[in-house]
Amino acid sequence: MKPTRQTRNDLLKVARRHFAERGYQGTSLADVAAELGVSKQALLHHFKSKPLLYRACLDLLNQDLLHLLFTAMDGTEDADLQLERCLVALTEYYLEDGSAPALVMGVLTDAPGQVVLSAAPPLPLQDFLEPLVALVQATPRWQGGGFAEALAVAIELLGAICLLSAARKNLSVRFGVSAVEQGRRLAVEHARDLVRVRLGG
């Protein structure tokens, strides 16, 4: 009758939320374990160390993003449309999984020599970032600009889409829950507009 046997995925889900809400350094294994009703060492049993637990969360995220990207690219050869679909899908993903945007931003702003980059290749989210940049570069608007410009544009779009969702709770305190939630309801539409306008100019 004991609850026993937490599946590895349950652990990951909670850990992921902690990493997203408090950052890597701010997340304590004891806290995560406590919320799960497990001992800290249960975590360390499944994932050998804190960095590896983090990495496991990021690999799951990477998987989601990759699936999302390839789905968006499916059924058309039009790079503009592919990119639009991708960023719309990404926005929807952020809306339903609140921890994703913070994780993405965390991975990107994590400096070398810190947590993420010290891990074994491939770098987290690299499988997602590379095709995304390639997608921007395949676009009529940006294919003349070279890799560096495509990278800059891809990161710009990513940042534009991420921040509102990542800052959700914070902004709710600042400007009220209703304003933020109302704004978030426009997120998909805004993302679509943004991409179009950024590819049209």
Task: Please say which residue, 43 or 132, places its beta carbon nearer to DNA.
Answer: 43
> Contact between 182 and DNA (CB under 7 A)?
no
DSSP 116: G
Task: Please say which residue, 76 or 126, places its beta carbon nearer to its own copies.
Answer: 126
> Contact between 196 and DNA (CB under 7 A)?
no
- Smallest distance from DNA to CB 21, Å: 14
Q: Is 146 left (phi over 0), alpha (psi -120 to 50) or beta?
A: left
3-state per-residue secondary structure call for 36-74? HCCCHHHHHHHCCCHHHHHHHHHHHHHHHHHHHHHHHHC
Partner that binds at residue 85, options DNA, its own copies, none, CB closer than 5 to 8 Å by kind: none
- Please, where are the H alpha helices in the chain? 8-26, 29-36, 40-46, 50-73, 79-96, 100-109, 126-137, 146-166, 168-175, 177-185, 187-200
Strand, coil or helix: 30: helix
Partner that binds at residue 151, options DNA, its own copies, none, CB closer than 5 to 8 Å by kind: its own copies
Tokens of 158: 């990513």
- Smallest distance from its own copies to CB 194, Å: 7
Residue 141 has phi, psi (to 5 degrees) of -65, -35
- Smallest distance from DNA to CB 125, Å: 22
Instruction: Return the residue matching tokens 């991708």.
Output: 86
Where on the chain is the footprint of its own copies (CB under 8 A)?
21-26, 102, 105, 107-112, 114, 116-117, 123, 126, 129, 133, 146-149, 151-153, 155-164, 166-167, 169-175, 178-180, 182-184, 186-187, 190, 193-194, 197-198, 200-201
Binding residues for DNA, per CB under 7 A?
2, 4-6, 8, 27-31, 38-42, 44-46, 48-51
